[in-house]
Amino acid sequence: MSRFFTTIEQTSDEDLARIYELARGPFDDTTLSGQGVALVFERPSLRTRAASSSAVSEMGGFTTFFSDEEIGLDTRESAEDVGRTLAQTYAICAARVRHHEVFARIAAATREQMSLINLLSDVAHPTQAVADVLTLAEHFCGGDVAGLAQLKVAYVGDATNVTRSLAVALLRLGADVTVGAPDGYQLTPGGLEDPHAVRGGGTLRLSDSAQGAVAGAHAVYTDAWVSMGFEEETAQRRVDLAAFRVTSELMARANPSAVLLHCLPAHRGDEITDEVLDSPASLVWRQVFHRRSAMRGVLRWMKEEK
Ligand code: CP
Ligand code: NVA
């Protein structure tokens, strides 16, 4: 039985609750005993590769890593044929892709026989969002994700793939999310992983002021100004986003006990200062820790009886 975890938006509240619950279970089990997970990375990674490979082996499975240079999705051969090939050997394919639509193409080509996990695409980073929810729940409410309702979370900077998945996950739990970003870098409605489309959860607010966004926030989150694939825009982005750097002065406008989150890698001196990243308010290393918890939750959920 295959399952798909490619966006938070497309995962039901019930399944998300189960993933959060399973993520908190003990480290060792035999859920993946003898089963293979293909790790396909079209883009670089440190945390995601580490979390995925360690979670799989803790659960008795094995991984094979495939880089973009080796398999060349849609260059050496079609994404469909890559999917058909991997499905002969692996129960699960976990992939970091340039174009999100590749997941639907692989699912169709393999007749949904192989489970798929999105390890970051141009629109979403759902396993990161699970880790972020676990980190916030651990800090604010003893691990109970339901306790995040009404938490005020401010995201500051470029509204990225990470922002979208984070916002959808938090809004679904009833948290209030404010995104502070300049014109041209703000969340826009539509497409997959659209926080504007979340109904009945928390409140989404957009602001063109970093100071306005963080006012009273319990948690402040930021991500790179230059995401993978946008390297040619580096100089312009540094100019456009300069007023959205997370500094100690900005953190002082948040709640006095506010915490700081960043998916990493950090670009110290750009989107965040050393002082904030290395401050006691920073939960970034717990986020890294929970990347592996998140993978355990997703993998266990995939292998549960429906
Ligand atoms: N946060 C994150 O996905 O890190 P990597 O790109 O190093 O995997
Ligand atoms: N928004 C960043 C996240 C890296 C983990 C990127 O896509 O490069």
My answer on whether 167 and 183 are in the same domain is yes
Find the 157 Cα to ligand 2 centroid distance in Å. Answer: 13
Residue whose entry in the numeric block shows the structure tokens 């079609």:
78
My answer on whether 106 and 181 are in the same domain is no
Mean pLDDT of 233-251: 98
Please give the pLDDT value at position 177.
98
Q: pLDDT tens digits, residue range 181-194?
A: 999 999 999 999 99
My answer on whether 271 and 136 are in the same domain is yes
Mean pLDDT of 117-141: 98
163 lines ligand 1 (CB under 6 A): no
263 lines ligand 1 (CB under 6 A): yes
Non-local (6+) Cβ contacts of 239 within 8 A are none
28 has pLDDT over 80: no
Chain center to CA of 3: 18
My answer on whether 296 and 282 are in the same domain is no
Mean pLDDT of 27-53: 95
* Ligand number with the minimum distance to the CA of 44: 1
My answer on whether 143 and 268 are in the same domain is yes
My answer on whether 159 and 40 are in the same domain is no
Ligand 2, residue 48: give the atom nearest the CA: 5
Mean pLDDT of 211-229: 98
45 lines ligand 1 (CB under 6 A): yes
Kindly report the number of other CB atoms within 10 A of residue 74's CB atom: 15
Find the 52 Cα to ligand 2 centroid distance in Å. Answer: 17
146 CB burial (10 A radius; 0-12, 13-18, 19+): exposed
Structural domain count, the chain: 2
Non-local (6+) Cβ contacts of 234 within 8 A are 226
My answer on whether 98 and 174 are in the same domain is no
- Of 201 and 236, more confident: 236
My answer on whether 161 and 261 are in the same domain is yes
Mean pLDDT of 281-295: 98
> Ligand 1 pocket test: which of 42, 47, 67, 130 has the largest number of ligand atoms within 8 Å of its C-beta?
47
My answer on whether 226 and 260 are in the same domain is yes
82 has pLDDT over 70: yes
Distance CA 197, CA 191 (A): 10
My answer on whether 81 and 204 are in the same domain is no
pLDDT band, residue 298 (cuts 50/70/90) = very high
Q: pLDDT tens digits, residue range 259-280?
A: 999 999 999 999 999 999 999 9
138 has pLDDT over 70: yes
My answer on whether 250 and 167 are in the same domain is yes
User: Can you give the pTM of this predicted structure?
Assistant: 0.98
Using CA positions, which residue lies closest to atom 6 of ligand 2?
A: 227
Mean pLDDT over all residues of the chain? 96
My answer on whether 39 and 173 are in the same domain is no
pLDDT band, residue 200 (cuts 50/70/90) = confident
Please give the pLDDT value at position 306.
65
Nearest C-alpha neighbor of 276 from the set 218, 220, 226, 213: 220
> Ligand 2 pocket test: which of 45, 47, 161 has the largest number of ligand atoms within 8 Å of its C-beta?
161
Residue whose entry in the numeric block shows the structure tokens 């401050």:
279
Nearest C-alpha neighbor of 225 from the set 189, 269, 286: 269
Query: Domain of 9?
Result: 4-125+291-303
The percentage of the chain sitting over the pLDDT mark of 70, rounded to a whole number, equals 100
> The domain that contains 178 carries what CATH number?
3.40.50.1370
Nearest C-alpha neighbor of 133 from the set 302, 16, 301, 280: 16
Please give the pLDDT value at position 114.
95
236 has pLDDT over 70: yes
